[in-house]
Amino acid sequence: MNKKLRIAYVITGLCGGGAETMLFHMLRFMDRGRFELVVISLMDRGKFGDEIEQMGIPVHTIGLRPGRATPSAFFRLVKILRAARPDVIQGWMYHANLAAQLANFFVQAPVCWCIQSSFLSFAAEKPLTRLAIRLTARMSRRAAKVVYVSHVSRTQHEQLGFAAERGCVIPNGADPVLFQASATARQSVREELGLPPDALLVGLICRHHPQKDHPNFLRAAAIVARKWPDVRFVLVGSQVNDANPEIAGLVRELNLGPRIHLLGERRDIPRLTAALDVATSSSRYGEALALALAEAMACEVPCVVTDVGDSGILVGETGIIVPPADAPALADGLDRMLSAGPEKRRELGKAARLRVQEGYSIQNIIRHYEDLYLSLK
């Protein structure tokens, strides 16, 4: 019997962002007959730690706080990696890529990186992230492989000095079984929100962060609301709630009150996504390939997206692509999608799901990662 290949995933944290969600779904589907897995979070267990352990995958935490890196934390990482004896170390996001590569001086195993974001400018990044990007650019020839989740991200990072010969693109992917159209979801979500069965729902599903540009979405929503009195806007994600002063303040300023539903962080994302008539990404920068878009497409929900990262490539002709940081343009895209009518949206939604099944399903993406790990034996 062949020995299982041991893969150690080093990730910055396990909160509910798209990068973390993508790793969680990958772990669900990895071939456990060929691979033995362990996860190391540089911060805490976050949203996914317990669920990963319930799958029989050990989860270790380093306990770093945002903005702080200490020698003792680094050597704890080294100690955990030595005990795990990985055949491959997979970094996941900038800081984890750097930590994994530095640990390689003490733990001899090929190190792969995964870069989950696109790049706008160093000014848009926090100081420690700037440092991590600059250091990993210099160290990139030491990596066994640098995986980018979008073509735009690969081009941008190689212009920063990342080794072109180490790069490859493996996009993020959605689970077409977990995410699919559902009349039951459409009905139950409208009942939950106290809306009529035929209410039109436009959704933005992402955590609160400057790169996601919630103000852009809300300003576009205010424009759309004036023309479409029956449209409601559903926002889901970490810190996307009434307690967020930026979002709550803009909702009041734009007089969106009853038209906006701020649901915060939720565990029923497949249900909420399947309830939408139109899904949106309003990101201004930093997006490489938004997992929430692939999930919406798998639910046969057409998308209106800002042209950041590979969002336009993902959506293709199944949705509408608009410039970033342009609320009137985003509003126009939403208006055109709503004006297309339910039959056209259904047609676009079915084409979107087929696009995910053919090129962006989690099962296909995992095969690419498994082939990469096996090539490094």
In angstroms, rounded to a whole number, what is the distance separating the alpha carbons of residues 1 and 340? 57
In angstroms, rounded to a whole number, what is the distance separating the alpha carbons of residues 347 and 345? 5
Residue written as token pair 């890196």: 69
Give per-residue pLDDT as tens, 187-222: 999 999 999 999 999 999 999 999 999 999 999 999
How deeply is 177 buried, as exposed, middle or buried, from its count of CB atoms within 10 A (0-12, 13-18, 19+)? exposed
pTM of the model: 0.93
Give per-residue pLDDT as tens, 131-175: 999 999 999 999 999 999 999 999 999 999 999 999 999 999 999
β-pairing, 167-169 with 59-61?
A: unpaired
**Domains in the chain, ordered, with CATH?**
5-172+362-375 (3.40.50.2000), 183-359 (3.40.50.2000)
pLDDT of residue 17: 86
Grade residue 65 by pLDDT with cuts at 50, 70 and 90.
Answer: confident
In angstroms, rounded to a whole number, what is the distance separating the alpha carbons of residues 149 and 171? 4
Total count of residues recorded for the chain: 377
Q: Determine how many CB atoms are found less than 10 A away from the CB of residue 41.
A: 26
Contact criterion met (CB below 8 Å) for 327 and 267: no
Q: Which residues pair with 264 in a beta bridge?
A: 236
Residue 106: CB partners within 8 Å, gap ≥ 6?
Answer: 78, 81, 82
Give the Å distances, CA to CA, from 199 to 137, 153, 305, 314.
49, 37, 22, 27
pLDDT of residue 70: 84
Token pair in block for residue 162 = 């990342």
Percent of the chain whose pLDDT exceeds 90: 93
